[in-house]
Structure 1
Amino acid sequence: MAFDAQQIGGVEKSQLSGGLGSMSSVPSHLYSADYIAQLPKPTGGKQWKCLSEALYFEARGETIKGQIAVAEVIMNRVDSASYPDSVCGVIHQGTGRKFACQFTYTCDGRAEVIHEADAYEQVGKIARLLLDGVPRKLTKGATHYHTTSVSPSWARKFPKTTKIGSHVFYKQPTVVSSN
Protein backbone atom coordinates (compact mmCIF):
# COMPACT_ATOMS: atom_id res chain seq x y z
CA MET A 1 0.00 0.00 0.00
CA ALA A 2 1.54 3.32 -1.06
CA PHE A 3 1.34 6.40 1.11
CA ASP A 4 -1.85 8.32 0.38
CA ALA A 5 -1.20 12.05 0.08
CA GLN A 6 -4.84 12.68 0.99
CA GLN A 7 -4.14 11.23 4.45
CA ILE A 8 -1.85 14.08 5.45
CA GLY A 9 -3.80 16.95 4.02
CA GLY A 10 -3.39 16.91 0.28
CA VAL A 11 0.36 16.87 -0.26
CA GLU A 12 0.93 16.44 -3.99
CA LYS A 13 2.08 12.94 -4.97
CA SER A 14 5.08 14.52 -6.73
CA GLN A 15 6.25 15.77 -3.32
CA LEU A 16 6.29 12.29 -1.79
CA SER A 17 9.82 11.28 -2.66
CA GLY A 18 10.32 9.73 0.76
CA GLY A 19 13.73 11.35 0.96
CA LEU A 20 14.90 14.88 1.58
CA GLY A 21 13.27 18.12 0.51
CA SER A 22 11.65 21.19 1.96
CA MET A 23 9.67 20.99 5.19
CA SER A 24 6.83 22.83 3.43
CA SER A 25 5.75 19.58 1.77
CA VAL A 26 4.85 18.01 5.13
CA PRO A 27 1.75 19.34 6.87
CA SER A 28 2.37 20.13 10.53
CA HIS A 29 -0.65 18.09 11.66
CA LEU A 30 1.26 14.94 10.68
CA TYR A 31 3.18 15.41 13.94
CA SER A 32 0.12 15.78 16.18
CA ALA A 33 -1.04 13.11 18.60
CA ASP A 34 -4.65 13.79 17.55
CA TYR A 35 -3.84 13.05 13.91
CA ILE A 36 -1.96 9.84 14.73
CA ALA A 37 -4.75 8.73 17.10
CA GLN A 38 -7.40 8.95 14.37
CA LEU A 39 -5.45 6.76 11.93
CA PRO A 40 -6.77 3.20 11.49
CA LYS A 41 -5.32 0.37 13.56
CA PRO A 42 -1.98 -0.45 11.92
CA THR A 43 -1.10 -3.74 10.30
CA GLY A 44 1.77 -5.07 8.29
CA GLY A 45 4.26 -7.81 7.66
CA LYS A 46 7.74 -8.51 8.97
CA GLN A 47 9.27 -5.12 8.09
CA TRP A 48 6.37 -3.27 9.77
CA LYS A 49 6.76 -5.43 12.87
CA CYS A 50 10.53 -4.78 13.03
CA LEU A 51 10.04 -1.01 12.67
CA SER A 52 7.18 -0.93 15.20
CA GLU A 53 9.23 -2.85 17.76
CA ALA A 54 12.28 -0.64 17.22
CA LEU A 55 10.19 2.48 17.74
CA TYR A 56 8.57 1.00 20.82
CA PHE A 57 11.84 0.03 22.50
CA GLU A 58 13.89 3.00 21.28
CA ALA A 59 11.42 5.91 21.29
CA ARG A 60 8.06 5.18 22.93
CA GLY A 61 8.69 7.91 25.55
CA GLU A 62 9.28 10.54 22.86
CA THR A 63 6.79 12.90 21.26
CA ILE A 64 5.24 11.98 17.90
CA LYS A 65 7.97 14.07 16.24
CA GLY A 66 10.65 12.22 18.19
CA GLN A 67 9.21 8.84 17.22
CA ILE A 68 8.97 9.83 13.56
CA ALA A 69 12.57 11.09 13.70
CA VAL A 70 13.85 7.73 14.96
CA ALA A 71 11.85 6.00 12.21
CA GLU A 72 13.42 8.35 9.66
CA VAL A 73 16.92 7.28 10.74
CA ILE A 74 16.02 3.63 10.21
CA MET A 75 14.46 4.31 6.80
CA ASN A 76 17.41 6.54 5.78
CA ARG A 77 19.72 3.63 6.58
CA VAL A 78 17.60 1.27 4.49
CA ASP A 79 18.08 3.68 1.57
CA SER A 80 21.85 3.93 2.13
CA ALA A 81 24.30 1.58 0.41
CA SER A 82 26.26 1.50 3.70
CA TYR A 83 23.57 -0.51 5.50
CA PRO A 84 21.35 -3.54 4.91
CA ASP A 85 18.51 -2.92 2.45
CA SER A 86 15.65 -3.94 4.72
CA VAL A 87 14.19 -2.50 7.92
CA CYS A 88 14.81 -5.73 9.84
CA GLY A 89 18.34 -5.94 8.45
CA VAL A 90 19.15 -2.40 9.59
CA ILE A 91 17.66 -2.89 13.05
CA HIS A 92 19.38 -6.20 13.73
CA GLN A 93 22.75 -5.34 12.17
CA GLY A 94 25.46 -6.36 14.64
CA THR A 95 23.04 -7.97 17.09
CA GLY A 96 24.72 -10.66 19.15
CA ARG A 97 28.16 -9.03 19.08
CA LYS A 98 29.12 -7.07 22.18
CA PHE A 99 29.05 -3.31 21.53
CA ALA A 100 28.37 -3.92 17.82
CA CYS A 101 24.60 -3.59 17.70
CA GLN A 102 23.08 -0.55 16.03
CA PHE A 103 20.05 -0.29 18.33
CA THR A 104 20.57 -0.80 22.06
CA TYR A 105 17.44 -2.83 22.69
CA THR A 106 18.71 -5.60 20.39
CA CYS A 107 21.76 -6.31 22.56
CA ASP A 108 21.08 -5.04 26.07
CA GLY A 109 20.44 -8.55 27.39
CA ARG A 110 16.89 -7.75 28.51
CA ALA A 111 13.83 -9.62 27.31
CA GLU A 112 11.91 -7.44 24.87
CA VAL A 113 8.31 -7.55 26.05
CA ILE A 114 5.67 -5.07 24.96
CA HIS A 115 3.75 -4.03 28.07
CA GLU A 116 2.08 -0.84 26.80
CA ALA A 117 -0.48 -1.72 24.12
CA ASP A 118 -1.48 1.91 23.46
CA ALA A 119 2.14 2.98 22.98
CA TYR A 120 2.72 0.02 20.64
CA GLU A 121 -0.35 0.91 18.59
CA GLN A 122 0.87 4.50 18.25
CA VAL A 123 4.36 3.54 17.08
CA GLY A 124 2.77 0.96 14.79
CA LYS A 125 0.82 3.76 13.11
CA ILE A 126 4.01 5.77 12.73
CA ALA A 127 5.80 2.73 11.29
CA ARG A 128 2.96 2.28 8.80
CA LEU A 129 3.23 5.95 7.71
CA LEU A 130 6.99 5.72 7.17
CA LEU A 131 6.81 2.41 5.32
CA ASP A 132 4.04 3.83 3.14
CA GLY A 133 6.28 6.72 2.06
CA VAL A 134 5.50 9.73 4.24
CA PRO A 135 8.15 12.38 3.45
CA ARG A 136 11.21 12.24 5.71
CA LYS A 137 12.03 15.83 6.58
CA LEU A 138 12.65 16.07 10.33
CA THR A 139 16.20 14.72 10.57
CA LYS A 140 17.60 16.13 7.32
CA GLY A 141 18.89 12.74 6.17
CA ALA A 142 20.26 11.55 9.52
CA THR A 143 21.53 7.99 9.71
CA HIS A 144 22.57 8.07 13.38
CA TYR A 145 21.23 9.27 16.70
CA HIS A 146 21.87 8.96 20.40
CA THR A 147 20.15 10.07 23.58
CA THR A 148 21.29 13.27 25.23
CA SER A 149 22.39 11.23 28.26
CA VAL A 150 25.40 9.77 26.41
CA SER A 151 28.29 11.15 24.35
CA PRO A 152 29.46 8.44 21.97
CA SER A 153 32.91 8.95 20.45
CA TRP A 154 31.57 8.60 16.90
CA ALA A 155 29.37 11.70 17.36
CA ARG A 156 32.42 14.01 17.21
CA LYS A 157 33.06 12.89 13.63
CA PHE A 158 29.48 13.13 12.33
CA PRO A 159 27.70 16.34 11.26
CA LYS A 160 24.79 17.06 13.61
CA THR A 161 21.49 17.63 11.80
CA THR A 162 19.05 18.35 14.64
CA LYS A 163 17.95 17.61 18.19
CA ILE A 164 14.40 16.39 18.82
CA GLY A 165 13.29 15.50 22.33
CA SER A 166 15.98 13.49 24.08
CA HIS A 167 17.74 12.44 20.86
CA VAL A 168 20.47 14.14 18.82
CA PHE A 169 20.62 13.24 15.12
CA TYR A 170 23.61 13.04 12.76
CA LYS A 171 24.44 12.40 9.11
CA GLN A 172 27.06 9.98 7.91
CA PRO A 173 30.23 12.02 7.22
CA THR A 174 30.83 12.69 3.55
CA VAL A 175 33.90 10.93 2.24
CA VAL A 176 35.71 12.74 -0.54
CA SER A 177 37.92 10.56 -2.66
CA SER A 178 41.17 11.89 -4.02
CA ASN A 179 42.44 10.73 -7.38
Structure 2
Amino acid sequence: MSSRVSYRNLSISAAVALAIAVPATFGFASETSLAATISSALPAMSSDDAHAAIIAEGPGEAVEAPVLALDPPAAPATEVAAVEDEAELDCIAKIVHHESANQPRAGQLAVAQLVMNRVESGRFADTICGVAHQPGQFFNTRAYNPRRDSATWKTAVEVSREAIAGHTADVVPGALFYHASYVAPPRFFRTRARAGVLGDHIFYR
Protein backbone atom coordinates (compact mmCIF):
# COMPACT_ATOMS: atom_id res chain seq x y z
CA MET A 1 0.00 0.00 0.00
CA SER A 2 1.46 3.36 -1.01
CA SER A 3 1.20 6.49 1.11
CA ARG A 4 1.14 10.15 0.19
CA VAL A 5 1.29 13.49 1.95
CA SER A 6 -0.48 16.57 0.58
CA TYR A 7 -0.42 20.23 1.66
CA ARG A 8 -2.46 23.24 0.67
CA ASN A 9 0.75 24.92 -0.54
CA LEU A 10 1.40 23.71 -4.14
CA SER A 11 5.18 24.03 -4.01
CA ILE A 12 5.30 21.82 -0.93
CA SER A 13 2.98 19.28 -2.59
CA ALA A 14 5.26 19.08 -5.60
CA ALA A 15 8.35 18.63 -3.42
CA VAL A 16 6.72 15.88 -1.37
CA ALA A 17 5.47 14.07 -4.49
CA LEU A 18 8.93 14.23 -6.05
CA ALA A 19 10.67 12.98 -2.92
CA ILE A 20 8.28 10.04 -2.47
CA ALA A 21 8.71 9.10 -6.14
CA VAL A 22 12.42 8.41 -5.60
CA PRO A 23 12.99 4.63 -6.03
CA ALA A 24 14.05 2.66 -3.01
CA THR A 25 17.03 1.41 -5.04
CA PHE A 26 18.74 4.76 -4.50
CA GLY A 27 20.15 3.18 -1.39
CA PHE A 28 18.45 4.96 1.49
CA ALA A 29 19.63 3.12 4.57
CA SER A 30 16.36 3.53 6.49
CA GLU A 31 13.01 5.25 6.64
CA THR A 32 14.66 7.83 8.90
CA SER A 33 17.18 8.82 6.22
CA LEU A 34 14.39 9.01 3.64
CA ALA A 35 12.38 11.27 5.93
CA ALA A 36 15.43 13.43 6.51
CA THR A 37 16.04 13.77 2.78
CA ILE A 38 12.40 14.75 2.19
CA SER A 39 12.52 17.21 5.07
CA SER A 40 15.65 18.88 3.71
CA ALA A 41 13.97 19.29 0.30
CA LEU A 42 11.02 21.19 1.76
CA PRO A 43 10.90 24.90 2.57
CA ALA A 44 10.08 25.84 6.15
CA MET A 45 6.35 25.48 6.77
CA SER A 46 4.36 28.38 8.11
CA SER A 47 1.81 27.81 10.86
CA ASP A 48 -0.96 28.09 8.21
CA ASP A 49 0.69 25.28 6.18
CA ALA A 50 0.94 23.10 9.27
CA HIS A 51 -2.70 23.66 10.13
CA ALA A 52 -3.74 22.73 6.59
CA ALA A 53 -1.73 19.50 6.48
CA ILE A 54 -3.68 16.30 5.83
CA ILE A 55 -2.14 12.83 5.97
CA ALA A 56 -3.73 10.07 3.90
CA GLU A 57 -2.93 6.43 4.41
CA GLY A 58 -4.35 4.19 1.75
CA PRO A 59 -7.35 4.86 -0.50
CA GLY A 60 -10.22 6.64 1.23
CA GLU A 61 -8.52 6.77 4.64
CA ALA A 62 -7.98 10.50 5.18
CA VAL A 63 -7.02 11.58 8.68
CA GLU A 64 -6.75 15.23 9.61
CA ALA A 65 -3.51 16.06 11.34
CA PRO A 66 -3.85 17.48 14.86
CA VAL A 67 -3.89 21.27 15.01
CA LEU A 68 -0.89 22.44 16.97
CA ALA A 69 -0.71 25.58 19.05
CA LEU A 70 1.97 27.16 16.87
CA ASP A 71 0.72 30.69 17.45
CA PRO A 72 -0.10 32.31 20.79
CA PRO A 73 -3.87 32.08 21.53
CA ALA A 74 -5.91 35.17 20.72
CA ALA A 75 -7.44 37.14 23.55
CA PRO A 76 -11.00 35.95 24.29
CA ALA A 77 -13.36 37.87 22.00
CA THR A 78 -16.32 37.28 24.29
CA GLU A 79 -15.15 39.34 27.25
CA VAL A 80 -16.42 42.69 25.94
CA ALA A 81 -19.61 41.12 24.59
CA ALA A 82 -20.30 39.57 27.98
CA VAL A 83 -19.98 42.96 29.67
CA GLU A 84 -22.32 44.52 27.10
CA ASP A 85 -24.85 41.73 27.62
CA GLU A 86 -24.79 42.31 31.36
CA ALA A 87 -25.43 46.01 30.79
CA GLU A 88 -28.38 45.21 28.52
CA LEU A 89 -29.76 42.76 31.07
CA ASP A 90 -29.44 45.40 33.78
CA CYS A 91 -31.36 47.94 31.69
CA ILE A 92 -34.34 45.68 31.02
CA ALA A 93 -34.39 44.34 34.58
CA LYS A 94 -34.61 47.92 35.88
CA ILE A 95 -37.72 48.51 33.76
CA VAL A 96 -39.33 45.24 34.83
CA HIS A 97 -38.55 45.90 38.48
CA HIS A 98 -39.67 49.53 38.55
CA GLU A 99 -42.80 49.08 36.44
CA SER A 100 -44.09 45.68 37.50
CA ALA A 101 -42.39 44.25 40.60
CA ASN A 102 -45.83 44.25 42.26
CA GLN A 103 -47.39 42.31 39.36
CA PRO A 104 -47.71 38.55 38.83
CA ARG A 105 -44.86 36.95 36.92
CA ALA A 106 -46.91 37.03 33.71
CA GLY A 107 -47.35 40.78 34.13
CA GLN A 108 -43.62 41.24 34.57
CA LEU A 109 -42.93 39.10 31.52
CA ALA A 110 -45.37 41.21 29.49
CA VAL A 111 -43.36 44.35 30.33
CA ALA A 112 -40.06 42.63 29.48
CA GLN A 113 -41.42 41.35 26.17
CA LEU A 114 -42.72 44.82 25.35
CA VAL A 115 -39.16 46.13 25.67
CA MET A 116 -37.91 43.40 23.32
CA ASN A 117 -40.74 44.18 20.89
CA ARG A 118 -39.52 47.77 20.77
CA VAL A 119 -35.93 46.66 20.12
CA GLU A 120 -37.08 44.53 17.18
CA SER A 121 -39.68 46.92 15.77
CA GLY A 122 -37.37 49.32 13.95
CA ARG A 123 -39.38 52.22 15.39
CA PHE A 124 -37.31 52.65 18.54
CA ALA A 125 -33.66 52.16 19.45
CA ASP A 126 -32.11 48.86 18.36
CA THR A 127 -30.62 48.01 21.75
CA ILE A 128 -32.26 47.35 25.09
CA CYS A 129 -30.47 50.19 26.85
CA GLY A 130 -31.27 52.47 23.93
CA VAL A 131 -34.96 51.70 24.41
CA ALA A 132 -34.69 52.06 28.18
CA HIS A 133 -32.99 55.46 27.99
CA GLN A 134 -35.16 56.91 25.23
CA PRO A 135 -36.51 60.28 26.42
CA GLY A 136 -40.18 60.45 27.33
CA GLN A 137 -40.77 56.70 27.30
CA PHE A 138 -39.88 55.30 30.70
CA PHE A 139 -38.55 56.72 33.97
CA ASN A 140 -34.94 57.82 34.50
CA THR A 141 -33.41 54.35 34.19
CA ARG A 142 -29.87 55.64 34.57
CA ALA A 143 -30.61 57.02 38.04
CA TYR A 144 -32.62 54.01 39.20
CA ASN A 145 -30.57 51.70 41.40
CA PRO A 146 -32.69 49.15 43.27
CA ARG A 147 -31.19 46.76 45.80
CA ARG A 148 -29.60 43.88 43.93
CA ASP A 149 -29.96 41.40 46.80
CA SER A 150 -33.77 41.44 46.99
CA ALA A 151 -36.12 38.69 45.86
CA THR A 152 -37.97 41.13 43.60
CA TRP A 153 -34.76 42.06 41.78
CA LYS A 154 -33.88 38.39 41.32
CA THR A 155 -37.29 37.76 39.76
CA ALA A 156 -36.91 40.80 37.49
CA VAL A 157 -33.57 39.48 36.25
CA GLU A 158 -34.97 35.99 35.65
CA VAL A 159 -37.95 37.36 33.74
CA SER A 160 -35.69 39.63 31.71
CA ARG A 161 -33.42 36.75 30.73
CA GLU A 162 -36.48 34.81 29.63
CA ALA A 163 -37.69 37.69 27.46
CA ILE A 164 -34.25 38.22 25.89
CA ALA A 165 -33.95 34.51 25.06
CA GLY A 166 -37.34 34.67 23.33
CA HIS A 167 -38.24 31.06 24.06
CA THR A 168 -41.54 31.91 25.76
CA ALA A 169 -44.76 32.68 23.88
CA ASP A 170 -45.75 36.35 23.99
CA VAL A 171 -47.96 37.14 26.93
CA VAL A 172 -49.42 40.18 25.16
CA PRO A 173 -48.50 39.72 21.47
CA GLY A 174 -47.28 42.78 19.62
CA ALA A 175 -47.47 45.14 22.60
CA LEU A 176 -45.40 48.31 22.22
CA PHE A 177 -47.07 50.67 24.71
CA TYR A 178 -48.85 50.46 28.04
CA HIS A 179 -50.18 52.53 30.89
CA ALA A 180 -51.55 51.87 34.36
CA SER A 181 -55.14 50.66 34.28
CA TYR A 182 -56.18 52.97 37.12
CA VAL A 183 -55.48 56.17 35.14
CA ALA A 184 -57.44 57.66 32.27
CA PRO A 185 -55.60 56.93 29.01
CA PRO A 186 -53.85 59.93 27.47
CA ARG A 187 -55.02 61.04 24.04
CA PHE A 188 -52.15 59.11 22.42
CA PHE A 189 -53.74 55.78 23.40
CA ARG A 190 -57.24 56.54 22.17
CA THR A 191 -56.39 55.67 18.58
CA ARG A 192 -54.23 52.64 19.32
CA ALA A 193 -55.39 49.00 19.27
CA ARG A 194 -55.51 47.30 22.62
CA ALA A 195 -53.30 44.23 22.90
CA GLY A 196 -54.64 43.15 26.28
CA VAL A 197 -55.04 43.90 29.96
CA LEU A 198 -52.79 42.20 32.49
CA GLY A 199 -52.56 43.04 36.15
CA ASP A 200 -52.49 46.80 36.59
CA HIS A 201 -51.48 47.53 32.99
CA ILE A 202 -53.31 47.99 29.70
CA PHE A 203 -51.16 47.15 26.68
CA TYR A 204 -51.41 48.56 23.15
CA ARG A 205 -49.90 47.82 19.76
**Superposition TM-score tier, normalisation by shorter sequence:** 0.5 to 0.7
Task: Tell me whether 1:84 sits opposite 2:116 in the alignment.
Answer: no
Gaps of 5+ in 2: 1-84
- The 8 Å contact of residues 133 and 140 in structure 2, kept in 1 or not, is answered as no
- CA deviation after TM superposition for structure 1 residue 153, in Å: 1.4
Normalising by the residue count of structure 2, what TM-score does the alignment of the two structures yield?
0.55
Measured in 2, the distance between the counterparts of 1:169 and 1:117 equals 27
- The 8 Å contact of residues 57 and 105 in structure 1, kept in 2 or not, is answered as no
Task: Tell me whether 1:132 sits opposite 2:149 in the alignment.
Answer: no
- CA deviation after TM superposition for structure 1 residue 113, in Å: 3.4
Task: Tell me whether 1:164 sits opposite 2:198 in the alignment.
Answer: yes
Q: Please show how residues 76-115 of structure 1 align to structure 2 within 5 Å.
A: 76-94=117-135, 101-106=136-141, 112-115=144-147
Measured in 2, the distance between the counterparts of 1:105 and 1:58 equals 12
- CA deviation after TM superposition for structure 1 residue 55, in Å: 0.6
Match of 1:152 in 2: 186
Task: Tell me whether 1:64 sits opposite 2:64 in the alignment.
Answer: no
- Identity among equivalent positions (%) equals 29
Q: Greater relative contact order: 1 or 2 (C-alpha under 8 angstroms, separation 6 or more)?
A: 1
Say which SS state the counterpart of residue 115 (structure 2) adopts. Answer: helix
Measured in 2, the distance between the counterparts of 1:59 and 1:134 equals 21
Measured in 2, the distance between the counterparts of 1:133 and 1:121 equals 19
Q: Which amino acid aligns with 1:48?
A: L
- CA deviation after TM superposition for structure 1 residue 136, in Å: 4.0
Pick one of 70, 81, 87 that aligns with 1:46. Answer: 87
Normalising by the residue count of structure 1, what TM-score does the alignment of the two structures yield?
0.62
Say which SS state the counterpart of residue 45 (structure 1) adopts. Answer: helix
1:21-41 per-residue CA deviation (whole Å, 9 max, x = no partner) reads xxxxxxxxxxxxxxxxxxxxx
Say which SS state the counterpart of residue 88 (structure 1) adopts. Answer: helix
Aligned alpha-carbon RMSD (Å): 1.7
- The 8 Å contact of residues 68 and 126 in structure 1, kept in 2 or not, is answered as yes
Q: Which amino acid aligns with 1:112?
A: Y
- The 8 Å contact of residues 55 and 123 in structure 1, kept in 2 or not, is answered as yes
- The 8 Å contact of residues 147 and 168 in structure 1, kept in 2 or not, is answered as yes
- CA deviation after TM superposition for structure 1 residue 155, in Å: 0.9
- Corresponding residue pairs, total: 119
Measured in 2, the distance between the counterparts of 1:103 and 1:136 equals 24
- The 8 Å contact of residues 52 and 123 in structure 1, kept in 2 or not, is answered as yes
Q: Please identify the structure whose Cα radius of gyration is greater.
A: 2
